[in-house]
Every structure is written in structure tokens, then in C-alpha cells.
């Protein structure tokens, strides 16, 4: 909380330089200040959220999130219709952020206070390392965006943003939610190696079964979607190369994210901090070099190459618990490749518009589901039975 407050004060004192550097304008400056202020406000949500996540009580955690999203969109639509433009976003973020906080304490009561206990000091080392990792993540991603904004054109940034956003949408929806649920599970099972091994392998199987077909499908169908989707033709073709490599990055990172979560949950934050340091250094070394060689497409190539360090992550997790990485993902990967081959061969022959593209995608999805049910039938039946076991 204190860290985010000092960050907010720092931004206020350096506001003039930041506004001038990025040429934000008055409305942009107000939006920037509100977003930084909301980072400070978000610290009030942290403990109620963690308490619910620790109890694996996500049905309550989603309530304030839904309320915030509803208020944000309600205020935004109303103010945009009144012609406020960017200021509409500013007020929508501010109002939804402030109104949402009480609902976190309503679903997860916790008395706010400032103090230090001896027991909490024992966890300070873990917390500092965990927060240091988040700071490095900001340097790796957000500061890189600032750097790119100074060396690339707005059009090139748009291509990168389009490719990255579409490549990672499934990652954020699936992997982020899986890691929230499994963190507490891994932590509780860390002394039971057999159960921890099973939990890791099931997580890898579920994530790969969900992510692999989506991302391989995006890589193959993206040229057709851009060609036939209204107003996309002639606009987003330059982003397709980056979309391919960002998708490959997301595919590998979806598995790496699970493994990093295992290390964090079992108290090995020092290792993940070292990994984040490595990824940050590689990002800032590879990205400028590859931009020089390949232009804006170098950003996606760099991200893919860095994702290949998953080999190191697998090695580190295997030192914690012996598990079968390739066995866990092999069947979903095989089924995804079967689907991808069908779509790759069929699309040039039959796709003429969005309707025929949708039909090919639908048939490809059915082929994937049928293949997975055939190849991994025993695994699926076992997992389904586990869901209905009464504890």
C-alpha cells in the first residue's frame, strides 16, 4: 500500500515531464493520473481478494468484479453519449474503482489497520521477493512499451497491439483463472508429492487441451478472418506475422505459467525472481536487436525466443517434484495438430467468405473434440469422475 502511494506521489511530481515526453494533452494527463491513482486504490482490494482465493471461494470474488465492470460500462456509455470523449474513460475508471472497493470488504470482511507483528516479519522475505518479481514484470513489459513508443510508428505499435491482444486473449481467460485456483491447491499439496504431481499434470492437460486448438486455429485462420471480416481487409495484414509468433509465445507461456505458479505456491519465490530477472534481461537484449533486423516484427520474434526458456522452468519444477511434462500435453497436442492439418488443407479449397470459414472452423472443432475423446478417453473419464467424488 505504501509503495503504491509513493508511486502515486512520484507520478504527481514528475507529471510535467511525463506529459511532455508522451505528448498526452490535458485529457490524456487526467486519464494517466487517475490510472496511477487506481493502482494505489487497488492495494485496498488485495487482502480481501487473497483471503477469498486462499479459501478457493471464487464465486464471491467475482461479485465485486462484476459490479465494477457494470458501473464502468454504465458510466462510460453515459458520458461518451454526452460527448466527454477521453474524460468519459477517466470518470468511468475513477467511479468504478472507488465504488467497487466496499464490495470487496462486504464479501470478504477484513479490518483495515497499520501495524507489524513478529509473525508477519517471518513472511516479509517472501513478500519482498514476490513484489520484486512484479516490479521486474513492469520493467519487462510496461517499460518496454514506453521504449517501443519512442522508436516505432503509431501504425507499427497498432500492429503489435492487435497481434498481441488477439494471441493472448485465450491465455488471459484460461491460464489466469487456472493459476488463481491452483495456487492454493499446490500450496496445500506441497508436502504430498504424489498428489502434487497429479495436480500439476492435470493442470497441464487441461490448459493444453484448451489453449492448443485455439492458438493453432488462430494461426491458420487469421489470414482468412482478416480478409473477410468487415473493415479488416487491407488494414491488419501487416500484423499477421507478429500474430503467429505471439500465438506461439502464448502457447508455450500457457504451460510455463502453470510451472511458475507451482514454484511460487511451494515457497520458491527466489527461483521465480531469478527467472523473471533472466526474462527481463533477455527481453531488453533481444527486442532491440531483432527490431533492428526485422522491424516491428522483431518484438514478436523476441517474445517467442524468450518463451523457449520453458526448458529451464521444467527443470526447476522437476527438482521440486518429479512429473511427466510431455506425457501431460502430448495427447492434446496430437489432437490439435490433426485439427490444424484439416483446417490448413481445407481452408484454401472451400473458404470463400465468413460463412464458409465458420463451417470449416466448426468441422475442425468437431474433429478436435472427437480426436481428444478417442485418444484421451480414459483421462477424460477419470477427470470427470473426480469432479463428482464427494469429499
pLDDT at 120 over 80: no
Max avg pLDDT among 41-55, 137-151, 342-356: 342-356
Cα 207 to Cα 265: distance, rounded to the nearest angstrom: 18
pLDDT number for residue 390: 42
212, 356: one domain: yes
pLDDT number for residue 388: 46
Contact yes or no for 329/202 (Cβ under 8 A): no
Cα 375 to Cα 281: distance, rounded to the nearest angstrom: 41
76, 183: one domain: no
pLDDT at 121 over 80: no
**Predicted structure pTM score:** 0.79
32, 176: one domain: no
89, 153: one domain: no
Q: Give the range among 5-19, 163-177, 281-295 with minimum mean pLDDT.
A: 5-19
Contact yes or no for 30/90 (Cβ under 8 A): yes
Q: Which of 111, 144, 169 is the last residue of a domain?
A: 111
188, 316: one domain: yes
Cα 274 to Cα 285: distance, rounded to the nearest angstrom: 16
Range of the domain at 319: 123-391
Contact yes or no for 283/144 (Cβ under 8 A): yes
pLDDT at 24 over 80: no
233, 272: one domain: yes
Q: Which of 68, 87, 111 is the last residue of a domain?
A: 111
pLDDT in tens, 175-216: 887 887 788 788 888 888 999 998 999 999 999 999 999 999
144, 218: one domain: yes
Q: Which of 77, 111, 145 is the last residue of a domain?
A: 111
Flag whether 118 is in a domain. Answer: no
65, 171: one domain: no
129, 272: one domain: yes
Cα angle vertex 263, ends 258, 304, to 5°? 50
- Domain total of the chain: 2
Flag whether 116 is in a domain. Answer: no
pLDDT number for residue 173: 82
Percent of the chain scoring above 70 in pLDDT? 88
157, 217: one domain: yes
pLDDT number for residue 6: 76
Amino acid at each position: 500500500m505504501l509503495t503504491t502511494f509513493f508511486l502515486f506521489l512520484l507520478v504527481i511530481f514528475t507529471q510535467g515531464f511525463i506529459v511532455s515526453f508522451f505528448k498526452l494533452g490535458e485529457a490524456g494527463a487526467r486519464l494517466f493520473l487517475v490510472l496511477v491513482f487506481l493502482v494505489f486504490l487497488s492495494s485496498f482490494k488485495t487482502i480481501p481478494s487473497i483471503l477469498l482465493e486462499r479459501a478457493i471461494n471464487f464465486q464471491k470474488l467475482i461479485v465485486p468484479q462484476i459490479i465494477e465492470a457494470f458501473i464502468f460500462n454504465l458510466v462510460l456509455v453515459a458520458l461518451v453519449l454526452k460527448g466527454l470523449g477521453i474524460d468519459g474513460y477517466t470518470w468511468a475508471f475513477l467511479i468504478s474503482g472507488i465504488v467497487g472497493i466496499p464490495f470487496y470488504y462486504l464479501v470478504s470482511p477484513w479490518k483495515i489497520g497499520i501495524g507489524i507483528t513478529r509473525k508477519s516479519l517471518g513472511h516479509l522475505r517472501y513478500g519482498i521477493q514476490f513484489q520484486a518479481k512484479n516490479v521486474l514484470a513492469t520493467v519487462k513489459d510496461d517499460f518496454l512499451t514506453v521504449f517501443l513508443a519512442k522508436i516505432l510508428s503509431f501504425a507499427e505499435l497498432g500492429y503489435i497491439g492487435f497481434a498481441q491482444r488477439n494471441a493472448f486473449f485465450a491465455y488471459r481467460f484460461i491460464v489466469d483463472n487456472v493459476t488463481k485456483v491452483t495456487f492454493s491447491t499446490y500450496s496445500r499439496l506441497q508436502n504430498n508429492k504424489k498428489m502434487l504431481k497429479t495436480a500439476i499434470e492435470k493442470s497441464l492437460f487441461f490448459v493444453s487441451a484448451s489453449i492448443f486448438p485455439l492458438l493453432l486455429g488462430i494461426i491458420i485462420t487469421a489470414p482468412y478472418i482478416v480478409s473477410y471480416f468487415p473493415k479488416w481487409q487491407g488494414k491488419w495484414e501487416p500484423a499477421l506475422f507478429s500474430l503467429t509468433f505471439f500465438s506461439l509465445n502464448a502457447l508455450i507461456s500457457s504451460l510455463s505459467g502453470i510451472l511458475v505458479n507451482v514454484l511460487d505456491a511451494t515457497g520458491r519465490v527466489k527461483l521465480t525472481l531469478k527467472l523473471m530477472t533472466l526474462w527481463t534481461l533477455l527481453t531488453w537484449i533481444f527486442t532491440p536487436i531483432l527490431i533492428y533486423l526485422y522491424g516491428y516484427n522483431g518484438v514478436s520474434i523476441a517474445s517467442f525466443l524468450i518463451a523457449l526458456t520453458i526448458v529451464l522452468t521444467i527443470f526447476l519444477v522437476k527438482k521440486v517434484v518429479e512429473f511427466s511434462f510431455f506425457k501431460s500435453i502430448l495427447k492434446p497436442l496430437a489432437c490439435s495438430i490433426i485439427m490444424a492439418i484439416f483446417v490448413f488443407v481445407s481452408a484454401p479449397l472451400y473458404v470463400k467468405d465468413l460463412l464458409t470459414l465458420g463451417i470449416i472452423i466448426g468441422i475442425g472443432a468437431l474433429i478436435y473434440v472427437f480426436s481428444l475423446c478417442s485418444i484421451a478417453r480414459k483421462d477424460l473419464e477419470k477427470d470427470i469422475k473426480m469432479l463428482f467424488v464427494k469429499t
